[in-house]
Amino acid sequence: MKTTALTFAACMSAVLAQTPSLSELIASQSDLSTLGEALGLVPDLAELVSGLKDITILAPTNAAFEALLAQRPNTANTAITEKNTEAVAALLAYHVLNGTYASTDFSEVPTYRHSLFTQSLTVGGSALTNVTDGQNIGLVLNDKNATLLSGDLQSANVVEADITAIPGITIHKIDEVLTLPASLSATLSRIPDVGLSAALGALTATELVETVDTIEDLTIFVPNDAAFVAAASAFGNASIETLTSVLTYHAVAGAVVFAGDISNGTVKTVNGEEITLSVGTDGTVYVDNAKVILPNIILSNGVAHIIDT
pLDDT for the residue numbered 257: 97
Say yes or no to pLDDT of 223 above 90: yes
pTM equals: 0.91
pLDDT bracket for residue 8 (50, 70, 90): very low
Q: Beta strand 155-163 with 218-223: parallel, antiparallel or unpaired? A: unpaired
pLDDT for the residue numbered 193: 79
How does pLDDT run across 17-68, given as a tens digit for each residue?
Answer: 568 999 999 999 999 999 999 999 999 999 999 999 999 999 999 999 999 9
Q: Which of 174, 209, 186, 151 is nearest to 101 (CA)?
A: 174
Domain boundary assignment for the chain:
15-174, 184-307
Q: How many CB atoms lie within 10 A of CB 122?
A: 15
Top-confidence residue, 282 or 7: 282
Lowest mean pLDDT among 96-100, 121-125, 190-194, 216-220: 190-194
Mean pLDDT score, 206-227 = 96
Work out whether the CA dihedral 251, 254, 260, 262 comes out positive or negative.
negative
Say yes or no to pLDDT of 126 above 50: yes
Q: Beta strand 218-223 with 251-253: parallel, antiparallel or unpaired? A: antiparallel
Give Rg (Cα) of the chain.
22
> Is residue 274 within 8 Å of residue 268, measured between CB atoms?
yes
Q: Please tell me the distance from the alpha carbon of residue 249 to that of residue 259, in angstroms, as a whole number.
A: 18
HSE toward the beta carbon, residue 29, CA cutoff 13 A: 22
pLDDT for the residue numbered 86: 96
Say yes or no to pLDDT of 194 above 90: no
List, as one string, the DSSP characters of the chain.
-HHHHHHHHHHHHHHHHHSPPHHHHHHT-GGGHHHHHHHHH-HHHHHHHHT--SEEEEEE-HHHHHHHHTSSS-HHHHHHHTT-HHHHHHHHHTTEEES---GGG--SS-EEEEBS--TT-EETTEES---TT--EEEEEEETTEEEEE-GGG-EEEEEEEEE--STTEEEEEESSPPPPP--HHHHHHH-TTS--HHHHHHHHHTT-HHHHHHSSSEEEEEE-HHHHHHTHHHHTT--HHHHHHHHHTTEEES----GGG--SEEEE-TTS-EEEEEE-TTS-EEETTEEEEEEEEEETTEEEEEE--
- Sequence-distant (≥ 6) Cβ neighbours of residue 90 within 8 angstroms: 79, 117, 121, 122, 123, 128, 129, 180
**By percentage, how much of the chain surpasses pLDDT 70?**
94
Q: Which of 14, 184, 12, 169 is nearest to 95 (CA)?
A: 169
pLDDT for the residue numbered 11: 46
pLDDT bracket for residue 1 (50, 70, 90): low
Mean pLDDT score, 268-287 = 96
- Kindly report the backbone phi and psi dihedral angles of residue 239, in degrees, each rounded to the nearest multiple of 5, phi listed first: -75, 165
Q: Which of 264, 188, 255, 270 is nearest to 228 (CA)?
A: 188
HSE toward the beta carbon, residue 21, CA cutoff 13 A: 10
Q: What is the mean pLDDT of the chain?
A: 92
> In terms of CATH architecture, what is 184-307?
Roll (2.30)
Q: Which of 100, 90, 97, 101 is nearest to 45 (CA)?
A: 90
Q: Please tell me the distance from the alpha carbon of residue 54 to that of residue 135, in angstroms, as a whole number.
A: 17
pLDDT bracket for residue 3 (50, 70, 90): low
**Is 184-307 in the same CATH topology as 15-174?**
yes
Top-confidence residue, 9 or 120: 120
CATH of domain 15-174: 2.30.180.10
Say yes or no to pLDDT of 70 above 60: yes
Say yes or no to pLDDT of 12 above 50: no
pLDDT for the residue numbered 5: 54
Say yes or no to pLDDT of 162 above 80: yes
Say yes or no to pLDDT of 255 above 80: yes
